[in-house]
Amino acid sequence: MHDDRTLVEARLKRVLDERIRPAVYPESVPLDVAVWDAPGEPVPVAEGLAAEPSPIAVGDRWGAPWGTCWFRVTGTVPAAWAGRTVEALLDLGFDENMPGFQCEGLVYRPDGSPVKGLNPRNQWVRIGAPVAGGEEVRLHIEAASNPVILDYHPFLPTQLGDKETAGSEPQYKLERMDLAVFDETVWQLVVDLEVLGELMAELPVESARRWDILRAVDKALDAVDLQDVGGTAAAARARLEAVLAEPAAPSAHRISAVGHAHIDSAWLWPLRETVRKVARTTSNMTALLEDEPDFVFAMSQAQQWAWVKEHRPEVWAKVKKAVADGRFVPAGGMWVESDTNMPGSEAMARQFVHGKRFFIDEFGVDNQEAWLPDTFGFAAGLPQIIKAAGAKWLLTQKISWSQTNKFPHHTFRWEGIDGTRIFTHFPPVDTYNCSMKGSEIAHAARNFKDKGVARHSLAPTGWGDGGGGTSREMVAKAARMRNLEGAATVAWETPEAFFRKAEAEYPEPPVWVGELYLELHRATLTSQAKTKQGNRRSEHLLREAELWAATATVRAGLPYPYEELDRIWKTVLLHQFHDILPGSSIAWVHREAEKTYAAVADELNAIISRAQEALAPEGGLVFNSAPHAWDGIPAGGAGEPAATGGTSLAPRAEGGFVLDNGLLRVTVDANGLVVSAYDIAADRETVAPGRAANLLQIHPDFPNMWDAWDVDEFYRNTVTDLVDADEVTEGEGASVRVVRSFGASKVTQTLSLEPGARRLDIVTEVDWHETEKFLKLAFPLDLHAERYASETQFGHFYRPTHTNTSWEAAKFEACNHRFVHFAEPDWGVALVNDSTYGHDVTRTVRAEDSGTTTTVRASLLRAPRFPDPETDQGVHRFRHALVAGASIGDAVREGYRINLPRRTGAGRGGAEVAPLVGVDDDAVVVTAVKLADDGSGDVVVRFHESRGGRARATLTTGFPLTGATVTDLLERPLADAAVPARDGNAIAVALRPFELVTLRLTRASTAR
């Protein structure tokens, strides 16, 4: 037989596009449409329904950027349509290629009950099946005219990302508002032909199955009368029955389809719009669940569930019923799908505490999985946090985006810094927006790297990013692929059902140790500096607020601010979402975030002040919130600091100054650069010979795509050292003030030595007005180190300083929390910070003495123009400290100190405030002291081993202790945990490297 594949395939495409798909709706009549433009922000549903609209016609433009229009559509079902299925087709001006990225709508009945959401791939509303004819139709649409930010030519700067700059030009043209007959037989034929055509294209040309399908499709098209598609559709479908009935091979790959709508809690839209996106999507999904008995839908992010409950009670009622039926599944157990690189230890823990508790309280669901399909890499400390929250599985997708190296597994155990292993799955479908296309299903089967030992994978199925969810077309395609020769088998299942099957069939998968580094989106560690600073400051203020509030409750009877702290934690956790904290959202999001962080700081500072005033009413004491003693003041206590000597400042004959505190002698040259940082006791120089530290460097920064997200390695090819100084003068106290100008920007730095510390403090204030530039702060160290330590959640982990392999070379920009640390066996250096995360490390061998220079550079600022064209413009303030002769313990301690400055109360001083909880080994770091969330009055303390070794310590309480229980993060007793050994108020603690422990301590006055 002659090869006529291309002829039949071209025929299929044209007949589908031009004849069969249009015949799904063979008859239609127009609806009458009127519109009301809501002034300002969205209005309550009742107000939108009651407003008096004005007429509007199809073809008219509507919708200013970020506006809301309430459409009223009315009409009458023709009597001639009696007995047929009728739908309203409501096209607001959609581009079907942009579901979730443009205008959307939520349809209501006149009584205010929601019907379903409208988006580019879901424009229909069922009126009746069948209709009697003559029915009056009246629907209301709350339509959001969200502008298109990421267009066909992506990454172009736009002012549409903020309502204050977006203008008022209408964004959309009303395309279609009709009542139409829905021919289900034709619709089913469309799905049949799409599934077979897509499958056929994925099969080998020499495959008999491909030719069987080709011949069946050809015969089906022969049966279609192009002038009477509806009348011949059933005959065409009959010719496809045999090929659709052929069962899959027993060895076929098995896909667990999970209905899904990955909704970014903010991104190219503000937080307030996400509230409505979630309402639209959940309305759609509850409606689809009613129509499709096999369908299962999962939604993560407890915050989004809480929004529905708070803002859309009518939708919430439907969601609760679907959850009770076991088909609308709370997933993931986190407050939001957060970034995991930058959130601090306690914040990462609280993502699970607040997320899991919401699902437990509302539905009795205790999630076993973490669900993070779109997060930009995973910190090495995360596995033990997942386990400590009572979960055991992880799903993600984004690692498949890595540019350099292909991850070697799809199912594996991920081992964190403490040895905890979590069963982890990367769906080989390589998308968290699977639409059940044949190409996606075939790719999943081909791509799956664990063939021969495992057969299951998961496919998150539905339109996402901006929401929308699963469509009826996807459900219909999945039904045909439940058991279809040539395709993977597809079944709707919950995430839990998938993980149980996958773990059972693959009990000993390979192990991946350390961070799951995404070789992409590295610039998210730096973009939007004020958002990152707000996060870091909020995390530490929350630590202080809980510590001092708990101490004041126990010691002074001050009421504990449970509700305030709960609300503030949730606000901070929301802003750790993976497009807010990483700095990849529109201007509106980050403008609001800055205001929110300021309000959070005010509220937390007030809580701290009230507590400290209750503890020291006479004032005058210095409060130490850090986890280590500081100048004689114990961790978590208050008192008078011990004297620590002084610092001298002397001018140099050749210009510049010398700072000396007896421990560290720092030489600042005439250009304001640090040419020496000499550790006096160790007789050791910190700065590499011939080099200068505190060196600001600027690079051009124009990545190939994803401006706010990416920095491409070629940025390093061009660098300008900012060595010229406008001023190098004596500052206040014993400090050096350096002023530099470059481009349109200005930097003012203050360099100082604190008495009694081997630490050079550097405060950098930048008035930043550059575009597409990258600003770094460099420290070339005279150290030979093959690896260095970066702080992460509840510990640190090591990265190599060399680039032996492509895996190491790809980590040219990496994340740290409060410190990075470099060491030779007997001496080390730390660089600590108060608000930066991105950094890079390089090493060179000097020709003159064959010594090694290891250079660490902190990433300060960028200036991408998409999606926020004004990213980071303005004044920023950073604090860094170079710690000479530092051990890992010193790095941990100084990292906390720079982030938790001591507070001094006003007044004349008084009795010391003893710590509520103390630990006698500095290797054991307390990350939280608080009262139990259940209001029992128990004290909860969380701590970990911080240096990567074993620790034996005694934890002592400053209150009568009647009981101690080891708990999970949610403060629930661990069944398999040993009862802590206790002697009065002292508890013996033995920890493995980086082990995390939560203790619940019962006070004598609260014993039950």
Q: Quick count: other Cβ atoms within 10 Å of Cβ 140?
A: 24
Q: Which position among 374, 418, 465, 938 bears the catalytic label?
A: 374
Beta bridge partners of residue 181, listed in sequence order: 86
The residue assigned the tokens 């080998």 is 204
The CA distance from 471 to 462, in Å, is: 7
Question: What is the SS3 assignment for 895?
Answer: helix
Question: What is the SS3 assignment for 1000?
Answer: strand
The CA distance from 558 to 210, in Å, is: 76
> 350 Cβ partners below 8 Å, 6+ apart?
335, 569, 573
> 241 Cβ partners below 8 Å, 6+ apart?
none
Query: Concatenated DSSP letters for 155-174?
Result: T---GGGSTTTS-----EE-
DSSP-assigned letter for residue 119: B
Are 516 and 378 in contact by the 8 Å Cβ rule? The answer is yes
> 858, 897, 831, 156: which is closest to 532 by C-alpha?
858
Are 276 and 70 in contact by the 8 Å Cβ rule? The answer is no
Query: Concatenated DSSP letters for 665-683?
Result: EEEE-TTS-EEEEEETTTT
Question: What is the SS3 assignment for 104?
Answer: strand
Are 462 and 470 in contact by the 8 Å Cβ rule? The answer is yes
DSSP-assigned letter for residue 558: P
Are 403 and 520 in contact by the 8 Å Cβ rule? The answer is yes
Q: Identify the sign of the CA torsion 635, 641, 643, 645.
A: positive
Query: Distance of CA 395 to CAs 367, 451, 506, Å?
Result: 13, 19, 16
> 430 Cβ partners below 8 Å, 6+ apart?
397, 400, 443, 444, 447
Are 903 and 622 in contact by the 8 Å Cβ rule? The answer is yes
The CA distance from 202 to 333, in Å, is: 37
Q: Identify the sign of the CA torsion 892, 344, 970, 917.
A: positive
The CA distance from 192 to 175, in Å, is: 28
Q: Is 726 among the residues known to form the active site?
A: no
> 279, 197, 263: which is closest to 433 by C-alpha?
263
510 is written with which tokens?
């390979």
Q: Identify the sign of the CA torsion 973, 976, 977, 983.
A: positive
Are 883 and 826 in contact by the 8 Å Cβ rule? The answer is no
The CA distance from 674 to 686, in Å, is: 10
The CA distance from 737 to 694, in Å, is: 13
Q: Most distant CA pair in the chain: distance in Å?
A: 102
Q: Quick count: other Cβ atoms within 10 Å of Cβ 309?
A: 16
**Beta strand pairing call for 254-259 and 456-461:** parallel
The CA distance from 669 to 675, in Å, is: 7
Residue 955 has φ and ψ, to the nearest 5°, of -100, 125
Query: Distance of CA 547 to CAs 222, 521, 930, 941, Å?
Result: 77, 36, 6, 10
The CA distance from 545 to 928, in Å, is: 10
Q: Return the active site residues.
A: 374
